[in-house]
């Protein structure tokens, strides 16, 4: 069930999944040439962290023991939907999303990534991309939120990279 706050924003979680080698999981929307990070709505009464694990499982088939949570954005990051995407016939009207973003590291096998766990698959492909790549590639109205989330989580990401790289030497 969609919850819309008093300002018209739907609470949502975004998932940035790192491979521990400096790259992030970039997923292709089913039947489209549109790529994005996994994300999804927070259900009524659900905590953001619980929603993140639910969406992680439904959208990319991973469970909590497949990942390590490295960090999350402090407040809500908001984006407005373009007017053409706003469904005026729905009540309450959703004008955009407010998101909490989570940075995860894949600790399990990347072969566990699959798109058929949820009731309706959202993605049909994925690839590892460099950390800043998604900002220039995601649909335009989400770019500012992607920039803010990646900027806020960049230090945590690079610290983890450093630790993992120095362990392997």
CATH number for 31: 3.90.79.10
Cβ neighbours, 10 Å, residue 28: 17
Instruction: Compute the average pLDDT of residues 146-160.
Output: 91
> What is the per-residue pLDDT for 154?
94
- Find, among 71, 58, 151, 150, the residue nearest to 103 by Cα: 71
Judged against a pLDDT cut of 60, whether residue 1 lies above it is answered with no
Q: Pairing between strand 96-106 and 9-18? A: parallel
The answer to whether position 40 is within a domain reads yes
Judged against a pLDDT cut of 90, whether residue 15 lies above it is answered with yes
Distance (Å, whole) CA 110 – CA 107: 9
The answer to whether position 3 is within a domain reads no
The answer to whether position 49 is within a domain reads yes
Structural domain harbouring 90: 9-168
Domain count, the chain: 1
Residue percentage of the chain with pLDDT more than 90: 80
Binning pLDDT at 50, 70 and 90, where does residue 169 land?
A: low
How far from the centroid of its chain's Cα atoms is residue 49's Cα?
12
Judged against a pLDDT cut of 90, whether residue 90 lies above it is answered with no
Cβ–Cβ < 8 Å for 9, 96 = yes
């Amino acid at each position: 069930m969609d919850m819309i706050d008093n300002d018209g924003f739907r609470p949502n979680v975004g998932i940035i999944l790192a491979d521990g080698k400096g790259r992030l999981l970039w997923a292709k929307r089913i039947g489209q040439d549109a790529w994005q990070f996994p994300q999804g709505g927070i259900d009524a009464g659900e905590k953001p962290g619980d929603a993140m694990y639910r969406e992680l499982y439904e959208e990319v088939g991973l469970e909590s023991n497949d990942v390590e949570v490295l960090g999350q954005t402090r407040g809500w990051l908001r984006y407005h939907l373009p007017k053409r995407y706003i469904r005026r016939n729905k009540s309450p009207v959703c004008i955009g999303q407010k998101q909490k973003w989570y940075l995860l590291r894949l600790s399990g096998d990347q072969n566990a990534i699959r798109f058929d766990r949820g009731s309706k698959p959202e993605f049909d492909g994925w690839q590892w991309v460099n950390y800043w790549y998604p900002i220039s590639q995601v649909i335009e109205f989400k770019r500012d939120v992607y920039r803010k989330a990646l900027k806020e989580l960049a230090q945590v990401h690079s610290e983890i990279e450093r630790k993992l790289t120095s362990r392997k030497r």
